Amino acid sequence: MARMLIENIRLVQPDGSLGTGSILIEEGKIAEVAGESYTDLDAERFDGGGAVALPGFIDVHIHGARGADFMDDDSIAAQTIAAALPAEGTTSFLATTLTHSPERISKAVQHGRRFMENIEQGAEMLGFHLEGPFIHPDQAGAQPSMHICKPSMEDLQKWFGDTLADLKIITMAPEQDPGFRVIRELAEHGVIVSAGHTTADYETLSQAQSAGLSHLTHYGNAMRGLHHREIGVVGAGMLNEGLFCEIIADGIHLSTDMLKLAVKVIGPDRILLITDSMRAKGLPDGSYTLGDQDVTVSGKEAVLSDGTLAGSVLKMNEGLHQLRMSAGISWQDAIKLSAENAARRLGVFNRKGSLDQGKDADIVLVTDDFGVRYTFCRGRMSFAYDQNEDVPMD
């Protein structure tokens, strides 16, 4: 792969300001980040048009996009999704499963692993986020309740092998795990255990945290809310500093006031922006499916027939724009929420999550309101906007 110099860009400085600079890419890695361009360099030159350079976004909770879902019994679903994600600045992701039959989950893992072995272009799959089936029926949300079952290491090892290779995050209801035996084993294997679709109260959640739970799935949704006599899982996310909180910043799953409160109280160091998007992302309004359930998509909202939210159609860059408008996040906050925190959580900060020398050249060039102009995945240009089709965000 030839050397490329991305010049005429703005870089986020240590003090949070923007300064002009350039990034030199060699063999898919960041070779140098400079405060100025080079006059004499043997490299292909790329004009960034004054855009802001950010590390590629990492989405740790995504089900689908462009008509495909990771639960599809289809070897090209992951490829379709990975090809679509650079348009929103996403360069890495966790394939997220849904509560379903053991056979269907097993097939999803097999398809995903085959894709991981042959990634060449598009966003990189870093592993799996298993959402369900070990959740509470009373907080099933859009998860198919008929397939909910009790936590089982045996099932997990059937799907992922004895070492649970490639399983990075599991969403489960801790109150369904007596003595938190499964949570302890998962934590010992290095799997991030996340509470979600749960009826747990604050005390139960805190006990599970002592056993190894460290994460909250789509914070505020499908969990016990904040009450002045029982602060629930939402209160735990605010109070317990060892908990990391996923947020869907579409203004629907969390109100704009709640987004502002979360950023202010929890802080940007413990929040991970996610999309939780389903197959309708990037497609027109209409009827789609999620886990064999019919979903109606209208505007920014995806719902089941009874009005239950069924994931989202959010894009990562849109989430950052919403957070800027709602909570006034800085450029440094944006980097943490969309890339750095996820990279650290997944143990890949040595190669992703920042624009530092030696790391993968996962780079997104955005406008001041987070409109994506160009995305590079491991040094390859994977998205370039078409000015004729570009639609500014609200």
Active-site residue list: 276
Q: Which residues contact 195 (CB under 8 A, 6 or more apart)?
A: 171, 172, 173, 174, 205, 208, 213, 215, 216, 217, 223, 233
How do beta strands 380-384 and 124-131 pair?
unpaired
**Which parts of 185-269 are beta strand (E)?**
192-195, 213-216, 244-248
Count of C-beta atoms within a 10 Å radius of residue 22: 22
> Residue 126 carries which DSSP code?
E
Residue with tokens 């809310």: 225
Residue 310 dihedral angles phi and psi, to the nearest 5°: -125, 70
Q: Which residues contact 109 (CB under 8 A, 6 or more apart)?
A: 97, 128, 159, 160, 166
Between CA 44 and CA 6 the distance in angstroms is 9
Q: Which of 304, 342, 300, 290 is nearest to 321 (CA)?
A: 300
Give CA separation, 322 vs 2, 13, 226, 264, 312, in Å.
37, 22, 23, 15, 14
